[in-house]
């Protein structure tokens, strides 16, 4: 056995040892590691090897385990004839070709290949190309390489053209799908194009494509038509959708999708994105429906509308940053009836904010433009909503800054704002621009003694309003100035701890139980007639009060055998004592009163009359094998649990289950009673092979209505998957059943009506 090195200009035969066997993995002795290429030829050199070699001038005749290798490729065959002057190799019998740069591997009966130009022809060819794994949510992935087979193929430097063949990424020969056509034009790492091809699933032809394009780039961008989708709905009828994606240039793109509902009309969806420069980007979305109307009894009710959103960010000069999240919805009824998301269907609010911000040292400055709209549930009219607008508001603030260390440390901070505001609702509306100026300085100190921590603070709240309420509840243009003084003191007492042997249900070896008692006192005074203040945000919720808050937190920490410490269980109980039950006359009997003293304690309103005590707020969390969180408020005035929220979940590698319960048992003045259940379970996960099943449901126990149900069944193979989803909406006037289908091809994409963000798997 002998071999020869063929330099580009002057061939000089040299003897090389036989290539070393591939090393074995020390972790899995039966698994070969990627072999180390011994004595790699230099660029421009050619290495030949054969059991028997003959040389006739520039002709090399290699017989028996013949090989030709360069720095970029390897050609193996039973016999190879190589012309060193033209650099053309003719290989016959069990031909193997591997390109080291792109990773493709080919097998053929006969090959004609030009080593210098990297062009050639492969006859009766089969081969593989490395998989491009795009591990994104909703994309089925596989490590299988792309497999292709054809009558013959040709390589032209950076591209392959396959004739009369097929491609797949399933395991052969028992493939689930193949794409078969007369020609496939592939540039590895760039793109693949097929013409007049037919897609087969288990040997059954499903669709014909005159031209099919697939990008193989890491971040693909190319204009083209989107895959059409079809579907069916009990309220919209048959659905047919088609769209176009326009890659305008490297920085901008536009997508338009049109959907036709046979019973309702046309829906339009537009997405426009741009990246102006490395510091600035934005996105615009518009969705609308030209609704012909839904026949309810003997009347036709139109529920069309539109929504628009804009989000963007920009890093400006001198440390300034700009952010924007703008949303506009012209009809809540439109959102409730045409959205595909349950969370959006029950969201009766629209929030928009844009701001400029800068932070330096302990200071910060913000210029804010804000618009909040809350729709009246069930009406869907723009007029039946509450709109609060800031156009604009300038904020200047400073976090705690230490100014003294003598005797006691002293910190100072402040918040200030000046803006033009407006509030509009069915009962009244302020003028277009109401000026409000607020300045709140704060001074804080702290004292420590034997584990006790005492933190007193004093604040002033000076606020000027350019408008106020009359006695009859209407807004006027008279100025109002509010002078409020706030004194707070927080007391943190030493924690009490005990270590004991861990019970089985907590796991670990030892458990540490820690009790953390805390108390705080707050006194707010100086506010005159609270009823004259127009409420725009939390700044306007201050009312006279003297209150004491007491809380106790129990925490259980688990220590494992490896020394890792985790919090397993915590339970915190909090209650406030109000020494002024009327809050300086701010409380109106028989009306829902929202004050700062209630809003920063619990998310549920509870003040509808003078009261001396708040509800007892309980928060329980547990995390070991299962996750559990229970928050409940017990009202001693009503002698019952007024609200409760429970959430529990259990997850393993392939299984999950969750359940939730939310109940409000309050006075109708405060909030309508509700009793809602939610639950979900799943067997499997996104890329699990075989059967996967999941379901999600929301049930209103009080109304006895199933508000939402989504059930999905998915079967994944090693290269593709089929998903079927059934969904039901039961909200307001919407009573709809939907069926969605999706066929996924691993590492390529999904076809059908089931969108990625709507899947359970």
Alpha carbons 459 and 447: distance in angstroms, whole number: 18
pLDDT of residue 32: 40
Q: Which range is least confidently modeled, 24-38, 290-304, 645-659?
A: 24-38
Task: Over range 392-403, report the average pLDDT.
Answer: 94
Q: What is the pLDDT of residues 500-556, one digit of tens each?
A: 888 877 777 789 999 999 999 999 999 988 989 999 999 999 999 999 999 999 999
- Is the Cβ–Cβ distance between 577 and 585 less than 8 Å? no
pLDDT category, 132, cuts 50, 70, 90? low
Beta-carbon neighbour count of residue 438 at 10 Å? 19
The pair of structure tokens assigned to 543 is 């009312």
Q: Omega before 515 cis (within 30°)?
A: no
pLDDT category, 63, cuts 50, 70, 90? very high
Q: What is the pLDDT of residues 714-735, one digit of tens each?
A: 999 988 898 999 999 988 778 8
Q: What Å distances lie between residue 30 and 19, 21, 22, 23, 140, CA to CA? A: 20, 13, 11, 10, 29
- Is the Cβ–Cβ distance between 146 and 168 less than 8 Å? yes
What are residue 485's phi and psi, to 5 degrees? Answer: -120, 135
More confident residue, 671 or 215: 671
Q: Which range is least confidently modeled, 64-73, 578-587, 718-727, 741-750?
A: 741-750
Alpha carbons 189 and 131: distance in angstroms, whole number: 10
The pair of structure tokens assigned to 717 is 């193979």
pLDDT of residue 57: 83
H-helix segments, 261-393: 332-338, 342-345
The pair of structure tokens assigned to 719 is 């290269």
Task: Over range 593-616, report the average pLDDT.
Answer: 92
Q: Omega before 147 cis (within 30°)?
A: no
3-state helix, strand and coil shares in percent for the chain, rounded to the nearest 5: 5, 60, 35
Residue 38 has pLDDT above 70, yes or no: no
Alpha carbons 329 and 342: distance in angstroms, whole number: 16
Q: What Å distances lie between residue 69 and 11, 53, 74, 87, CA to CA? A: 15, 15, 4, 12
- Is the Cβ–Cβ distance between 552 and 569 less than 8 Å? no
What are residue 332's phi and psi, to 5 degrees? Answer: -70, -35
Give the start-to-end residue ranges of the domains of the chain: 1-116
The 3-class SS string of 243-272 reads EEEECCCCCEEEEEEEEEECCCEEEEEEEE
Residue 223 has pLDDT above 80, yes or no: yes
Say which residues have a Cβ less than 8 Å from residue 8's Cβ, sequence separation at least 6.
44, 45, 46
More confident residue, 210 or 11: 210
Which range, 290-294, 425-429, 463-467, has the best average confidence (pLDDT)?
463-467
Distance of CA 126 to the CA centre of its chain: 40
Helix (H, G, I), strand (E, B) or coil at 756: helix
Task: Over range 47-73, report the average pLDDT.
Answer: 89
This prediction has a pTM of: 0.79
pLDDT category, 29, cuts 50, 70, 90? very low
- Is the Cβ–Cβ distance between 268 and 285 less than 8 Å? no
Q: What Å distances lie between residue 556 and 496, 501, 707, CA to CA? A: 12, 12, 38
The pair of structure tokens assigned to 390 is 């800031």
Q: Within 13 Å and on the Cβ side, how many CA atoms surround 18?
A: 6
Q: Omega before 719 cis (within 30°)?
A: no
Task: Over range 103-109, report the average pLDDT.
Answer: 89
Distance of CA 595 to the CA centre of its chain: 35
What are residue 317's phi and psi, to 5 degrees? Answer: -75, 165
What are residue 458's phi and psi, to 5 degrees? Answer: -130, 135
**Hey, which bits of 480-544 come out as E strands?**
480-492, 496-501, 510-525
More confident residue, 312 or 21: 312
Helix (H, G, I), strand (E, B) or coil at 598: helix
- Is the Cβ–Cβ distance between 461 and 482 less than 8 Å? yes
Q: What Å distances lie between residue 488 and 377, 385, 578, 684, CA to CA? A: 39, 37, 14, 53
- Is the Cβ–Cβ distance between 288 and 268 less than 8 Å? yes
Beta-carbon neighbour count of residue 57 at 10 Å? 8
CATH number of this structure's domain 1-116, picked from the four choices 2.20.25, 3.30.450, 2.30.30, 2.60.450: 2.60.450
Mean pLDDT score of the chain: 86
**To 10 degrees, the CA torsion angle through 733, 347, 335, 536?**
120
Q: What Å distances lie between residue 380 and 332, 384, 708, CA to CA? A: 5, 7, 20
Alpha carbons 420 and 390: distance in angstroms, whole number: 6
pLDDT category, 486, cuts 50, 70, 90? very high
Residue 708 has pLDDT above 90, yes or no: yes
Say which residues have a Cβ less than 8 Å from residue 544's Cβ, sequence separation at least 6.
524, 525, 526, 527, 530, 580, 583, 584, 585, 586
Q: Which range is least confidently modeled, 171-185, 209-223, 242-256, 471-485?
A: 209-223
Tokens 């030829």 appear where?
A: 41
Alpha carbons 372 and 360: distance in angstroms, whole number: 29
Residue 9 has pLDDT above 60, yes or no: no
- Is the Cβ–Cβ distance between 115 and 69 less than 8 Å? no
- Identify the CA nearest to 481 among candidates 466, 494, 496: 466
**To 10 degrees, the CA torsion angle through 623, 625, 626, 627?**
30
**Hey, which bits of 302-433 come out as E strands?**
305-315, 321-329, 349-360, 363-375, 385-404, 410-425, 428-429
Alpha carbons 442 and 439: distance in angstroms, whole number: 10
pLDDT of residue 36: 52
Residue 474 has pLDDT above 90, yes or no: no
- Is the Cβ–Cβ distance between 221 and 724 less than 8 Å? no
What are residue 278's phi and psi, to 5 degrees? Answer: -65, -15
Alpha carbons 614 and 551: distance in angstroms, whole number: 13
Say which residues have a Cβ less than 8 Å from residue 509's Cβ, sequence separation at least 6.
501, 502, 559, 560, 561
Q: What is the pLDDT of residues 627-647, one digit of tens each?
A: 999 999 999 999 999 999 999
Largest CA distance in the chain: 113
pLDDT of residue 137: 58
């Amino acid at each position: 056995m002998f071999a020869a090195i063929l330099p580009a200009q002057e061939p000089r035969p040299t003897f090389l040892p036989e290539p070393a066997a591939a090393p074995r993995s020390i972790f899995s002795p039966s698994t070969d590691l990627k072999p180390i290429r011994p004595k790699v030829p230099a660029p421009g050199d050619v290495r030949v090897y054969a059991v028997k070699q003959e040389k006739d001038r520039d002709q090399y005749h290699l017989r028996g385990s013949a090989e030709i290798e360069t720095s970029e490729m390897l050609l193996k065959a039973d016999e190879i004839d190589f012309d060193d002057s033209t650099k053309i190799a003719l290989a016959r019998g069990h031909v193997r070709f591997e390109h080291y740069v792109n990773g493709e591997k080919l097998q053929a009966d006969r090959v004609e290949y030009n080593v210098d130009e990297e062009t050639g022809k492969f006859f009766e060819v089969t081969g593989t190309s490395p998989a491009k794994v795009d591990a994104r949510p909703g994309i089925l992935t596989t490590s299988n390489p792309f497999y292709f087979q054809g009558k013959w193929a040709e390589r032209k430097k950076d591209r392959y053209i396959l004739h009369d063949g097929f491609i797949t990424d399933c395991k052969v020969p028992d493939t689930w799908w193949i794409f078969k056509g007369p020609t496939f034009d592939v540039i590895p790492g760039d793109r693949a194009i097929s013409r007049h091809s037919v897609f087969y699933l288990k040997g059954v032809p499903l669709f014909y494509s005159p031209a099919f394009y697939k990008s193989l780039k890491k971040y693909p961008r190319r204009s083209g038509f989107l895959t059409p989708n079809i579907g069916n709905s009990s309220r919209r009828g048959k659905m047919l959708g088609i769209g176009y994606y326009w890659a305008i240039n490297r920085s901008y793109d536009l997508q338009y999708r049109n959907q036709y509902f046979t019973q309702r009309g046309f829906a339009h969806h537009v997405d426009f994105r741009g990246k102006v420069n490395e510091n600035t980007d934005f996105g615009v979305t518009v969705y609308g429906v030209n609704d012909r109307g839904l026949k309810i009894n003997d009347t036709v009710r139109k529920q069309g509308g539109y929504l628009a959103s804009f989000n963007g960010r920009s890093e400006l000069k001198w440390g300034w940053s700009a952010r924007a999240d703008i949303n506009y919805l012209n009809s809540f009824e439109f959102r409730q009836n045409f959205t595909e998301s349950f969370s959006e269907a029950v969201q009766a609010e629209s929030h928009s904010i844009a701001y400029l911000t800068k932070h330096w040292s302990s200071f910060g400055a913000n210029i804010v433009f804000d618009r909040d709209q809350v729709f009246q549930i069930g009406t869907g009219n723009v007029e039946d909503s509450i709109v609060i607008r800031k156009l604009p508001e300038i904020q200047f603030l400073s976090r705690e800054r230490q100014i003294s260390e003598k005797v006691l440390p002293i910190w100072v901070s402040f918040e200030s704002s000046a803006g033009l505001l407006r509030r509009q609702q069915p009962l009244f509306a302020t003028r277009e621009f109401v000026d409000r100026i607020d300045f709140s300085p704060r001074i804080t100190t702290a004292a420590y003694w034997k584990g006790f921590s005492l933190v007193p603070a004093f604040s002033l709240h000076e606020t000027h309003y350019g408008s106020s309420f009359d006695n009859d509840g209407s807004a006027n243009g008279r100025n109002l100035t509010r002078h409020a003084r706030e004194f707070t003191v927080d007391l943190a007492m030493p924690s009490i701890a005990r270590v004991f042997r861990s019970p089985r249900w907590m796991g670990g070896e030892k458990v540490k139980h820690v009790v953390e008692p805390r108390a705080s006192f707050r006194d707010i005074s100086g506010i005159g007639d609270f009823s004259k203040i127009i409420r725009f945000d939390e700044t306007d919720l201050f009312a006279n009060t003297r209150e004491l808050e007491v809380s106790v937190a129990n925490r259980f920490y688990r220590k494992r055998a490896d020394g890792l410490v985790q919090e397993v269980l915590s339970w915190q109980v909090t209650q406030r004592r109000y020494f002024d039950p009327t809050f300086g006359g701010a409380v109106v009997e028989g009306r829902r009163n929202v004050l700062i003293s209630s809003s920063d304690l619990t998310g549920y309103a509870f003040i509808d009359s003078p009261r001396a005590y708040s509800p007892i707020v309980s928060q329980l969390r547990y995390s070991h094998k299962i996750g559990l969180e229970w928050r409940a408020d017990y009202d001693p005035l009503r002698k019952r649990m007024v609200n409760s929220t429970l959430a529990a979940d259990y997850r393993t590698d392939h299984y999950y289950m969750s359940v939730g319960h939310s109940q409000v048992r309050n006075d109708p003045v405060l909030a309508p009673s509700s009793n809602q259940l939610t639950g979900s379970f799943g067997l499997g996960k996104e890329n699990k092979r075989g059967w996967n099943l999941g379901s999600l449901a929301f049930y209103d126990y009080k109304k006895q209505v199933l508000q939402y149900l989504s059930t999905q069944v998915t079967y994944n193979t090693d290269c593709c998957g089929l998903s079927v989803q059934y969904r039901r909406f039961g909200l307001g006037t919407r009573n709809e059943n939907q069926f969605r289908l999706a066929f996924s091809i691993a590492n390529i994409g999904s076809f059908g009506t089931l969108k990625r963000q709507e899947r359970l798997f």
